A and B are shown apart, each in its own frame.
Chain A
Amino acid sequence: MYRTLPREIAGHLSQAGYVLEEGLSVPEIAIALNKTVISGGKRVRPALCLLISAAMGIPLDRAKIYARAVELTHSASLTHDDVVDNAARRRNKPTLNDVESNKKAVLGGDLLLARVMVEISGTGEVEVIRDLAQAVEDLVRGEWLQLDALGVLEIEAHQLDEISRLKTGSLIRWACLVPARLLRGDATLVELCRSFGDNLGVAFQMVDDVIDYDVSSEKLFAQDLKYGLVNWVTMELLEANPDLAGPVAKILQTGSAPASGELPWSNDQLEAARERVRVRANAKLVAAHAQLDEILARTGFQESAETRQPYVKALRSAIDLLARRKK
């Protein structure tokens, strides 16, 4: 993704602007977090935040603090997730709960959230701060609903949509809302940006679920199913092939996904389901492009304008890349 980004944004994302300073009263927390959950990652959310802000005419220096905030908040949620999921590895590295303990991981996540609050409260942008608090609340609701989803075979599209919107979409939605608030946009612009973020967030989750069933992916195969969750691809698989309900229910209950040679579905069935989900994700992104056109029009963007053009182009590429990514 970095190859398509304007140089100054790519440079910012790859710098150490996302680490915690050790100069806290308990430096060990920052050291542990920097070594585990904060390092690595694709920095999708800060990239989107910077691209959208620049595309809407906000100077990058003003947006960087929010890009950092969304990434640290995301890291906080991952830290807590790893405790809930009892995960030992993330991004090919040991997790904080594995290196230290569950208690310290929970506290580490809390510290990241607190640090974000300290940093962005200094901006005085009350609406932005309130939106972030709402995003965190939505994220928690999404995670809670996902716990309800454990072991549920017949999950419906509108339920997956709600979970995706809350769990994955909340921070992406906030990243898209920030520039609208900074521009003091009217209610229509704010709603457009919120809905734009929603579409990106849900599409992002859908593609994640497609990748979950990719044997060539660097992630483990069918992790969601093994964990007891029916994701978008599994839902499409069951919708098209109701006879798979029994075998899939067994996998959900036992938590053991069979080896690739013993799968209850054929390759064609799985590929058809993955393609259905890609179509869903692409439909969301077509809608997102339409919203982006309107957002740019409302913020006075003209194709001939040189200053914002590279960011708009990079943003559209990034949106399309969300659908095509393989990891």
Chain B
Amino acid sequence: MTSLIRLTQSSPEAQRALWHGLYSDLLAIPREVVEIPQRGLQIVFELRDRNAVQAPRFLKRWAGTVRAVSLALTAMPCLAIFFYGLARGWSLHPAVALSSLLGVMCLHSGVNLLNDVYDHLKLVDLLGSTGRVGPIQRGWISAHRLRRSGFGFLAAGVLLGMPALFTVPEVILPLGALGLAGLVGYSMPPLSLKYRGLGEVLLIALVGPALCAGFSMAAFHQIDHGVLLLGGAFGFLACAVVHAKNLQLIPWDSLRGSKTLASVLGFRKAKRALPIFYFLVALSLGVGVWRGYWSWSVAALPWAISPWALRVLIKIQDASGPASPLLAGLRKASSRVSLAIGALICFGIWFL
């Protein structure tokens, strides 16, 4: 059985419901918001018996919570550098490499969790944005617990990055500080760089050359231009995923005065810009072939998924606006395309 209750956002009961997911002994999930002048934002909570919610098992629950697919997108550049360094005959420092990889994934997980917490507290999915139906909305985990876990992952990420910091501090310290500042400042106040037109640039730099350079130095104590080119390719792949998401958020971002590439270009130009990111990936790989860092097969292999990628791109071109159902599942589809391309790059570098 469910029931509904309306609470003023600023009230202690509403805050408890938002943070701990509880009202009295019942599970409280926000379902609707309404602004009443002079009384403030009213939140309509759905109240459910806690025993009625069937959360999945621990591993599956947390895999969905930390977004395993997006973590793979972070791990992919590191794996590519790993295979690249080995192919170049560089000397591997396995313990540092492993702790760095795990550290990066923990940092990314922490950011994902904290993003979910702040999106939930800001009621983003109820105010018109495309917020995801995550573990909080499903009643699996409270915002309070998720925030603690998020900071826990961030702390673990910093700790796991320490071996790399101690071995090559002159490179890791500035890169790590930049990465951490970028991660924290990406969407969180007061910087909120992603809403000031710097999101895509930051993403390309952080997930691309900065991440790859940092991992290369940590794992091999070496770096060359091939690392930076691979970084560029992965940076553009990450940017394609974010741009695909921002396509749907154009009305929402425009209303709030947030500047993303999509909102600045407008829908028509923004959907045509998406293939350009994939072209830039191909260009980065092509330059790598030309400069002799890897064989032509590394640049050619990702084209194997072009029919699939083309289907996704054609669907986007047919969409009549940001709210078009043709963009449904776009974020997932573009993540999978990027993941597949990344996996093929790794495969090509190691085996071909």
Contacts and interface: CB of A to CB of B under 8 A. Distances in A.
Given A152-B325, A188-B37, A279-B2, 19 more contacts: A148-B318, A148-B320, A156-B130, A156-B329, A158-B128, A158-B129, A159-B323, A199-B34, A239-B133, A279-B4, A279-B31, A283-B31, A283-B44, A284-B32, A286-B6, A286-B44, A287-B42, A294-B36, A294-B39
A286 B325 contact: no
B306 interface: no
Interface string A197-232: 001000000000000000000000000000000000
Contacts of B248: 158
Interface residues of A, number: 32
Interface string B238-255: 000000000010000000
A152 B333 CA distance: 14
A290 B319 contact: no
Given A156-B130, A294-B39, A148 B31 contact: no
Contact of B34 (A158, A162, A291): A291
Interface of B: 2, 4, 6, 31-37, 39, 42, 44, 46, 125, 128-130, 133, 248, 318-321, 323-329, 332
Contacts of A275: 2
Given A158-B128, A279-B4, A282-B4, A287 B133 contact: no
Interface of A: 141, 144-145, 148-149, 152-159, 162-163, 188, 192, 195, 199, 239, 275, 279-280, 282-284, 286-287, 290-291, 293-294
Contact of B4 (A144, A199, A286, A291): A286
B37 A145 contact: no
Contacts of B326: 148, 152
A279 B46 contact: yes
Contact of B325 (A148, A188, A239, A290): A148
Given A286-B6, A287-B42, A290-B6, A154 B34 contact: no
A136 B350 CA distance: 59
B4 A283 contact: yes
B329 A154 contact: yes
A290 B32 CA distance: 12
A284 B133 CA distance: 18
Q: Which 5 A-B pairs have the closest CB atoms?
A: A154-B329, A149-B325, A283-B31, A287-B34, A283-B32
A212 to B, nearest CB: 17
B133 A157 contact: yes
Contacts of B319: 148
B37 A294 contact: yes
B270 to A, nearest CB: 17
A152 B46 contact: no
Contacts of B128: 158
B42 to A, nearest CB: 5
B4 A158 contact: no
Contacts of A283: 4, 31-32, 44, 46
Contacts of B129: 158
Given A145-B323, A148-B320, A279-B46, A290 B34 contact: yes
Contacts of B130: 156, 158
B328 A287 contact: no
A162 to B, nearest CB: 4
Contact of B328 (A141, A154, A291): A154
